[in-house]
Chain A
Amino acid sequence: MSDEEFPLLSELKKGPWPSFVKEIEKTAEKKPEMKDLLKQLERSYEDKITYWKHGGIVSVKGYGGGVIGRYSFLAKECPGVAEFHTMRVNQPAGWFYTSDALRTICDIWEKYGSGLTNMHGSTGDIILLGTTTQNLQPCFNELAKNGWDLGGSGSALRTPSACVGPARCEFALIDTLELCYDLTITYQDELHRPMWPYKFKFKIAGCPNDCVAAKARSDFAIVGTWKDEIKINQEEVKKYAEAGVDIKTQVVDNCPTKCIEYDEEKKELKIDNSNCVRCMHCINVLPKALKPGDERGAVILMGGKAPILEGPVMGWVVVPFIKAEKPFDEIKELAEAVWDFWDENGKFRERLAELIERVGMMRFLEAIGVEPDPRMIKEPRANPFYFWREEDLKERTNPWEIWRRAESE
Chain B
Amino acid sequence: MASEPVEEYISDIGPPHYEKFLPPVIKNNYGKWAYHEVLKPGVLVHVAESGDKIYTVRVGSPRLLSIYTIRELCDIADKYCDGYLRFTSRNNIEFLLTDESKIDPLIEEVEKLGFPVGGTWDATKAKYALSNIVHTQGWIHCHTPAIDASGPVKALMDALFDHFKNMDLPGLCRISLACCLNMCGAVHASDISLVGIHRTPPMVDDDVVRRTCELPSTVAGCPTGALRPDMKNKTIKVDKEKCMYCGNCYTMCPGMPLFDPENGGVAILAGGKLSDARSPARLSKVVVPYLPNNPPRWPEVVDTVKAILEAWAAEAKPHERIAEWIDRIGWEKFFEKTGIEFKVQLIDDFRQPRHTFRTTTQFRW
Contact = CB atoms under 8 A, between A and B. Distances in A.
B351 A310 contact: yes
Contacts of A21: 154
A406 interface: no
A216 B188 CA distance: 8
Given A308-B246, A314-B189, A281 B278 contact: yes
Contacts of B123: 284-285, 287
A147 interface: yes
Interface in B181-214: 181-189, 212
Interface in B135-191: 136-145, 148, 150-151, 154-155, 157-158, 161, 164, 178, 181-189
A102 B70 contact: yes
Interface in B3-22: 9-18, 20-22
Interface stretch (B25-33, B99-107, B226-234): B25-33
A35 interface: no
A132 interface: no
B346 interface: no
Residue in A91, A95, A349 whose Cβ sees the most chain B Cβ within 10 Å:
A95
Contacts of B318: 249-250
Interface string B64-96: 111111110111011000011111110101001
A149 B186 contact: no
Interface string A240-258: 1000010001100011100
Contacts of A52: 139, 141-143
B279 interface: yes
A144 B124 contact: no
B217 A120 contact: no
A62 B33 CA distance: 42
Contact of A285 (B85, B124, B296): B124
A210 B275 contact: yes
Interface in A297-313: 305-312
Contact of A279 (B33, B277, B282): B277
A185 B74 CA distance: 28
Given A98-B84, A106-B67, A120-B87, A70 B261 contact: no
B77 A99 contact: yes
B238 interface: no
Contact of A311 (B36, B264, B350): B350
A166 interface: yes
A49 B259 contact: yes
Interface in A1-29: 8-9, 11-12, 14-24, 26-27
Which of the four size classes fits the interface of chain A? 35 or more
A280 interface: yes
Contacts of B240: none
A212 B91 CA distance: 11
Contact of A254 (B188, B262, B319): B319
B104 to A, nearest CB: 20
Interface in A26-55: 26-27, 30, 37, 41, 44-45, 47-55
Contacts of A27: 66-68
B120 interface: no
B46 A170 contact: yes
Nearest to B121: A284
Contacts of B54: 168
A349 B16 contact: no
B45 to A, nearest CB: 11
A201 to B, nearest CB: 9
Given A92-B15, A144-B10, A103 B261 contact: no
B64 A116 contact: yes
B158 A55 contact: no
A307 B181 contact: yes
Given A12-B297, A119-B65, A172-B31, A213 B186 contact: yes
Given A102-B74, A308-B246, A12 B14 contact: no
Contacts of A9: 296
B63 interface: yes
Interface string A117-132: 1111111100001100
A280 B275 contact: yes
B114 interface: yes
B10 A141 contact: yes
A268 to B, nearest CB: 18
A330 to B, nearest CB: 20
A47 B75 CA distance: 39
Contacts of A280: 275-277
B86 A94 contact: yes
B329 interface: no
Contacts of A255: 278
Nearest to A347: B220
B188 A307 contact: yes
Given A49-B261, A54-B250, A309-B248, A256 B183 contact: no
Nearest to A144: B10
Nearest to B216: A348
B311 to A, nearest CB: 21
Given A101-B20, A208-B276, A249-B318, 8 more contacts: A17-B164, A21-B154, A26-B66, A84-B141, A100-B83, A122-B184, A211-B89, A216-B186
19 contacts: A18-B114, A44-B139, A45-B296, A48-B264, A50-B138, A51-B139, A53-B143, A92-B21, A96-B21, A102-B73, A117-B66, A148-B16, A168-B56, A215-B189, A279-B277, A305-B186, A311-B350, A312-B188, A347-B220
Would you list the 4 A-B pairs with minimal beta carbon distance, nearest first? A15-B158, A306-B183, A54-B254, A166-B31
Interface of A: 8-9, 11-12, 14-24, 26-27, 30, 37, 41, 44-45, 47-55, 60-63, 68, 70, 84, 86, 90-103, 105-106, 109-110, 115-124, 129-130, 141, 144-145, 147-149, 161, 163-164, 166-170, 172, 175, 177, 181, 184-185, 188-189, 192, 208-213, 215-217, 240, 245, 249-250, 254-256, 278-281, 284-288, 305-312, 314, 347-349
